[in-house]
Chain A
Amino acid sequence: MSQSPMPQSKIRCLLGMLGTDVHSKGIRTLAQLLRDRGVEVIYLGEHNTARGMINATIAEDADLVGLSFSTATYLHYTRDLMEQMRAAGLGDVPVMLGGLIHADDEPALREMGVRGIFGPGSTMDQIVAFLQSATGKTLPSGISASGA
């Protein structure tokens, strides 16, 4: 067998959409690309509430939370989630945003505590680098640093 006998600490990443946003194609693609890089993606799909996301973060012991937005409502939803996460004692879990995020809004999002912002044009390598630095865990090397 080629697999390593050593115990592995995988990166567990929650991915989902909040509110009424239904353009899930981007986030589904991201889920597949992350899986191919060795990430365990807990895929929540669309129509999640902040409460549901928080319960999932706790139960799944997620290392980080990724949200995707395709509508302009992201400031509102993100602020609400960040506040509720802090109140639930999850302030230390990194949150990243992807999708149609305007560069103008980045400072406000950072102010709320969002750690990673990946708007249009972001590359997989950037996202993967963020995942590793934000969680302090390493992904298996040799899997398609070039691919995707």
Chain B
Amino acid sequence: MSVDSQVDTQDADLQLIDALARGELRIAARLITRIESGDSSVASILSKLHARGGNTTVLGVTGPPGAGKSTLVDRLLQQFRHRGQRVAVLAVDPSSPFSGGAILGDRIRMNQHSADEGVFIRSMAARGRLGGLAVAAGDALQVLDAMGWDLIVVETVGVGQSEIDILRHAHTVVIVQTPASGDAVQSVKAGLLEVGDIFVVNKADTAGADRMQSNLREATAFRADPHDPACWLPPVLKTQATYGSGIDAVIEAIDAHTHHRLTHPARWAQRLRAQMRVLLLEQLIDLQRRRTVEDPAHQQRFERALDEVLARRCDPHTAARKLLDASE
């Protein structure tokens, strides 16, 4: 790259960041598209966004398919708008593993906000990229963060690991379940019991809501620490998102969690460090995988190593070490 074109890139990046800060929606939307499609030319801008980022509170909402996440988000948006907050929503849906296509349907449930300038909703498909979803969603969140929204909400379907990984970008995590989810400990995906800050039993108008609520209370009781009276105990709430009941309590819980975070900075710093640690590790693994497996220059070496392992002339552990050394 010549010095001139470096200067051009710098200028272009700064102009882009200015445009984001001014709230130019089309520019933001196009940048997110570039991120989604894996365009590597976004690297320099993302690096600048990171340097200035981390300003907007991110609320994560997850749960099984059809639990009522979008309907709940729609209700929460109503309340946030009521108190004058401007909100961006990132709605992540899985892609079809067969065609790579997707039906992104979260917006319909939030249609009442479709003409509201204070709400920005962007859908994103998983695109079946290994581990890439959480990274791409995290990058898209950086773009939204740079736009100066008062709050960012990210909705994901809690079915896979990468969806759970997205929650590492959130300050507050809401886990949505329904009475139909069955046994709490088994239905709440492993790991979610640990990361949830607020649990919601939605569709409380259907049978079994009380039982689900008490199951979840039991299942999260391990989070109480007798040596640490100030630790956050996730509340378990009931809602009927379609009818708008129970929403006030969810808002209160979100506020209380934010307050807890701000009044316990050391604890929050610890959690942030743990979240960032995993994100950095993921990036490292992603990079290494691309280097050793997907880069054509190294593919041959990888295939040869695979031959050696299959012929039992080399064990997988040693072969991996050699590949790693060779990719330096």
Contact = CB atoms under 8 A, between A and B. Distances in A.
Contacts of A3: 100, 128-130
B104 A43 contact: yes
Interface in A28-69: 31-32, 34-45, 47-49, 51-53, 55-56, 58-61
Interface in B114-128: 114-115, 120-123, 125, 127-128
A67 to B, nearest CB: 15
B96 interface: yes
Given A36-B98, A40-B95, A59-B120, 18 more contacts: A1-B130, A3-B128, A5-B294, A10-B100, A10-B127, A31-B103, A35-B96, A36-B99, A38-B101, A44-B107, A44-B108, A45-B111, A47-B111, A48-B111, A52-B114, A60-B122, A61-B26, A140-B100
Nearest to A144: B99
Given A41-B101, A49-B114, A8 B127 contact: yes
B102 A35 contact: yes
A41 B125 CA distance: 10
Interface of A: 1, 3, 5-10, 12, 31-32, 34-45, 47-49, 51-53, 55-56, 58-61, 89, 140, 143
B115 A38 contact: no
Contact of B125 (A10, A36, A59): A10
A34 B95 CA distance: 12
25 contacts: A3-B128, A5-B290, A5-B294, A8-B37, A10-B101, A10-B127, A34-B101, A37-B99, A38-B100, A38-B101, A39-B101, A40-B95, A42-B104, A43-B103, A45-B105, A45-B111, A51-B115, A52-B115, A55-B115, A56-B114, A60-B104, A61-B26, A61-B29, A61-B32, A140-B99
B107 A42 contact: yes
Contacts of B83: none
A58 B29 contact: yes
B39 interface: yes
- Identify whether the interface residues of A are mostly helix, strand, loop, or mixed: mixed
Given A10-B127, A42-B123, A61-B29, A35 B103 contact: yes
A74 B29 CA distance: 29
B58 to A, nearest CB: 18
A48 B111 CA distance: 8
B277 interface: no
Contacts of B98: 36, 143
Interface in B70-117: 95-96, 98-105, 107-108, 111, 114-115
A39 to B, nearest CB: 5
Given A36-B99, A59-B25, A45 B108 contact: yes
